Amino acid sequence: MTDVRPYAYFRDGLVPFEEANVSIASAPVLYGLSIYTVFPVLWDGKRHKLYMFRLQDHFRRLQNSAKIMAFDDFLQRWDYGKFESAMRELLSQNKVEESSLVRVSIFVDESLKGTRMHGLKHSLSAFVYTTPPLLPKSGARLMVSNWRRSSDNSIPSRAKINGSYVNAALMKHEAVLSGLDDALALDEHGHVTEGTVANVFLVRGGHLLTPHGNTDILEGITRDTIMHLAKDLDLVMEERSIDRSELYLADEIFLSGSSVQITPVVEVDHRPIGKGQAGPVTKRLMKAYAGIVDEATELKAWLTEV
């Protein structure tokens, strides 16, 4: 069951979570005009310290999404220093002492303005929560969706836009009704893109593969983290177009994202992947990802102590 902390950041400061609401006539409700990011906070029980993971990168992604969506008011009023201060205040007020997630949204804070975005007020909201794994950690069973990933020329894939997740919801719905855990999407050319809320990696012949950034994917921060970890582990890493049939021939597949971390995939379209369990490369990366808090390497630069 998802557990949401009692205080949220809303517009200009902290409020009780129950009071962080927008109107039913507001632009994010009527048209999905908001962008967001989800970043992990990592609790180090040995040192009794809390860290925000890759906070600067998550803020940069909010900025990039805002540029694509012409959220100029946010870009003018929020810099990284103000953002970090707000997140520290949020986590401190909630007395967070466990690994959690923080969801930050930037929304058009206007009502009945139609689909207009430019020249309007944009506000920030954020809340802290813990939730059970979105997918089975023992391994997810997937299908290739009949719905195609919306193209970058329709809804920009490099922007994390709330309204675009209708596309993902249709895929997830189809998968769940089919008795599976989640879905993978193809682009309009038939190439593999990503899962509904996660990027995808394959292992073939000892090489780690992931769809290229020009394949209508969200260039995930966890995806980038894995690519760094792969380099540290001396894994051969390649970004390229991936065909559907390569999924069936993969030795290993796993998903990555802030909400799923690294989740093995054991089946695609009722075909077992490898031995039907997490493979050796996936396990090495899971161990490396889980150990980031304890690493005395340059990875420490990714951690912002609260």
The greatest distance separating any two alpha carbons of the chain, rounded to the nearest whole angstrom, comes to 55
State the pLDDT at residue 172: 97
Q: Does residue 135 lie within any of the structural domains?
A: no
- Do residues 268 and 145 lie in contact, with contact meaning Cβ atoms separated by under 8 Å? no
Q: Say if residue 187's pLDDT is above 60.
A: yes
**Same domain, yes or no: 113 and 14:** yes
Can you give the pLDDT at residue 297?
Answer: 58
Q: Which of 41-45, 141-145, 236-240 has the lowest mean pLDDT?
A: 41-45
* pLDDT confidence of residue 47: 86
> Average pLDDT for residues 256-279, to the nearest whole number?
95
- What's residue 150's pLDDT? 92
Residues 176 and 248 both lie in one domain: yes
83: pLDDT strictly greater than 60: yes
CATH number at residue 198: 3.20.10.10
Domain boundary among 130, 149, 182: 130
21 Cβ contact list (under 8 Å, min separation 6): none
pLDDT at 298: 60
Q: Which of 83, 213, 239, 76 is nearest to 156 (CA)?
A: 213
DSSP 182: E
Confidence of residue 80 (pLDDT cuts 50, 70, 90): very high
Does the structure show a pLDDT above 60 at 50? yes
Residues 7 and 121 in one domain: yes
Q: What is the mean pLDDT of the chain?
A: 94
160, 275, 283, 300: the catalytic one is 160
How far is residue 30's CA from residue 195's CA, in Å, rounded to a whole number?
A: 26
Task: State the average pLDDT over residues 206-221.
Answer: 93
* Cβ-based neighbours of 140, under 8 Å, separated by 6 or more: 181, 182, 255, 263, 264, 265, 266, 267
CB 156 within 8 A of CB 68: yes
Domain boundary among 130, 164, 187: 130
9: three-class secondary structure by DSSP: strand
Q: Please report which confidence band the pLDDT of residue 291 belongs to, taking 50, 70 and 90 as the band edges.
A: confident
CA distance 104 to 65: 12
Residue 258 reports pLDDT greater than 60: yes
For the segment 211-217, the average pLDDT, to the nearest whole number, is 92
Task: Clarify whether residues 202 and 88 are in a common domain.
Answer: no
Which domain range does residue 233 map to?
A: 140-293
- Domains of the chain: total: 2
Rounded Cα distance, 282 and 286, in Å: 6
Written as six digits, the tokens of 44 are: 């180090």
Claim to verify: residue 150 and residue 193 sit in the same structural domain = yes
Sign of CA dihedral 39, 45, 50, 51: negative
- Among 62, 127, 122, which Cα is nearest to 89's? 127
137 is catalytic: no
Pairwise CA distance, residues 73 & 121, whole Å: 6
